[in-house]
């Protein structure tokens, strides 16, 4: 079994704003191994999404100090597409529209790039339709343009559809529960849990509430505040946040 390790050490990240450069991440240390599920919880603006986009390689975020490695290989030196081929996947909080590109073509092109060869068309259609059925996605969805006119729930299901088909070593899920009703949250969570059940994918869940964790339990819960992890534990941390908010952890250091 592939037991890859994603390591983040002393990560400091800065962004340029209208008021000048602003430090967002201020020394993040985190290790995620294949088969583990980690949750990062924190208030809006604490730096959670910055961490997600930095791992994925968004050019807006400038790494000024620290490292991210995948099995000892420098991730920060990789382009965005190289990171994807290496096994890093990001489910975005606000997926963007891609006019003129159908879901079917987008998915097959993505899978071809990651796997290194195009799947046979008959096999591919069976695989894609099976994954869509598991997520209760209408088959006609495959002919629509990527995220164009999609509801919030459709966009999130499409993200998890990508996750199931690409089978990455590490999946960063940024606010996957945002904007989902109860039924959509259950369906999306079941998709994530199917990937988790393989034991081959490390999952990093980013959320500011414990709602998602009632469906996707985490092995480790990290509390984020002001660009740092200030506390770490298990699901008891999420339960404390659910009952008392983040106040019990303010100023704490794991």
Nearest in space to 165 (alpha carbons), one of 207, 205, 206, 137: 137
Residue 1: its pLDDT value, please? 46
100 is written with which tokens? 């003129």
The model's pTM is 0.92
Q: Are 210 and 177 in contact (CB under 8 A)?
A: no
**Structural domains in the chain plus CATH codes:** 5-249 (3.40.50.300)
| 126-179 per-position pLDDT tens digit | 999 999 999 999 999 999 999 888 888 889 999 999 999 999 999 999 998 888
Residue 89 backbone phi and psi in degrees, to 5: -125, 140
Residue 178: its pLDDT value, please? 84
Considering Cα of 77, then 83, then 85, then 86, what sign does the dihedral take? positive
Q: What is the mean pLDDT of residues 46-70?
A: 95
Cα separation, 59 vs 169, in Å, equals 22
Residue 43's CB is within 10 A of a number of other CB atoms, namely: 14
Residue 44: its pLDDT value, please? 86
């Amino acid at each position: 079994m592939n037991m890859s390790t994603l390591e983040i050490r002393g990560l400091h990240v800065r962004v340029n704003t209208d008021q000048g450069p602003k430090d967002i991440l201020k020394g993040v240390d985190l290790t995620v191994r294949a088969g583990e599920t980690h949750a990062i919880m924190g208030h809006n603006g604490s730096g959670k999404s910055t961490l997600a986009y930095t791992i994925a390689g968004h050019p807006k975020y400038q790494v000024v100090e620290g490292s991210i490695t995948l099995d000892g290989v420098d991730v920060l030196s990789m382009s965005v597409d190289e990171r994807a081929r290496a096994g890093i996947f990001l489910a975005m909080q606000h997926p963007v529209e891609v006019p003129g590109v159908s879901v079917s073509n987008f998915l097959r092109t993505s899978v071809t790039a990651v796997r290194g060869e195009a799947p046979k068309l008959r096999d591919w259609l069976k695989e894609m339709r099976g994954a869509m059925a598991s997520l209760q996605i209408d088959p006609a969805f495959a002919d629509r343009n990527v995220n164009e006119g999609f509801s919030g729930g459709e966009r999130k299901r499409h993200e998890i559809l990508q996750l199931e088909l690409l089978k990455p070593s590490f999946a960063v899920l940024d606010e996957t529960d945002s904007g989902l009703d109860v039924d959509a949250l259950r369906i999306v969570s079941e998709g994530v849990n199917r990937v988790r059940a393989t034991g081959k994918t490390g999952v990093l869940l980013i959320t500011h509430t414990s709602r998602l964790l009632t469906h996707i339990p985490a092995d480790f819960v990290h509390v984020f505040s002001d660009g740092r992890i200030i506390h770490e534990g298990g699901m008891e941390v999420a339960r404390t946040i659910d009952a008392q908010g983040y106040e019990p952890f303010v100023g704490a250091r794991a």
